[in-house]
Chain A
Amino acid sequence: EVQLVESGGGLVKPGGSLRLSCAASGFTFSSSSLTWVRQAPGKGLEWVSSIDPTSSYIYYTNSVRGRFTISRDDAKDSFYLQMNSLRAEDTAMYYCARLAGSTSLYYFDYWGQGTLVTVSS
């Protein structure tokens, strides 16, 4: 059974940092692309960042580029989102997901349960 479990969320002041983790099981982690998606309170889903199996292709949405860093540790079957210079508008539930598919369509076939990040003074 595929499982993705996020951790690391919490309350942080504007300008602060947090590191989210996603622990995976039930699939071949090292050959999988992975992603972070967030959802602000009462809003829709917003893609944040994705990383391919070799960390050669890493993508970010414009609003987080330069502040957030996605990474992976295949030895631990885990991947991460380092979030710096946090802003109030980064407040959201953050979901990790596996990215499946090919160049015709990449899609999120398994999702975690989410971890809440609140940026507030």
Chain B
Amino acid sequence: QLVLTQSPSASASLGASVKLTCTLSNGHSNYAIAWHHQQPEKSPRYLMKINSDGSHTRGDGVPDRFSGSRSGAERYLTISSLQSEDEADYYCQTWGPDHAVFGGGTQLTVL
């Protein structure tokens, strides 16, 4: 079964960097994924996709402070120079043969 696993929470200081992790289930380690974030009381916004080779493509208007990478079954979203508006829920997402799958989300707190 295709499952994405995320840590429920993360925190980092203003101006620092943080790396969020999304882990693909056994047998799905080569899947591409997308990252979305949702600021408080707002709708989700697409950030980027991470291809199976680890390359990433950011969405329209997404600053280059956001980058993606992979290692095995893990997919990462790294945010550098953290700003207060980066405080949000971050969701990874992929696609099975006929359905989408979301991770449970990581709530990022900017200290």
Interface of A toward B, CB cutoff 8 Å: 35, 37, 44-47, 50, 59, 61, 95, 97, 101, 104-114
Q: Are B99 and A61 in contact (CB under 8 A)?
A: yes
Q: Are B105 and A50 in contact (CB under 8 A)?
A: no
A105 to B42, CA, bound (A): 25
Minimum CB–CB distance for A66 against chain B, Å? 15
Q: Identify 30 residue pairs between A and B in the complex whose beta-carbon atoms are under 8 Å apart, listed by A's number.
A: A37-B100, A44-B102, A44-B103, A45-B38, A45-B44, A45-B91, A45-B93, A45-B105, A59-B99, A95-B43, A95-B44, A101-B49, A101-B95, A105-B32, A105-B49, A105-B51, A105-B94, A106-B100, A107-B46, A107-B93, A107-B95, A108-B34, A108-B93, A108-B100, A111-B36, A111-B43, A111-B44, A111-B45, A112-B43, A114-B43
Q: Are A108 and B43 in contact (CB under 8 A)?
A: no
The secondary structure that dominates the A interface is strand
Minimum CB–CB distance for A97 against chain B, Å? 8
A-B contact count (CB 8 A): 65
Q: A47-B99, A59-B99 are in contact. Are A107 and B49 (CB under 8 A)?
A: yes
The secondary structure that dominates the B interface is strand
Most buried by A among B49, B89, B101: B49
In the complex, which residues of chain B have a beta carbon less than 8 angstroms from the beta carbon of A106? 95, 100
Per-position binary interface string of chain B over residues 45-73, scored 1 when its CB falls under 8 Å from any chain A CB and 0 otherwise:
11001011000000100000000000000
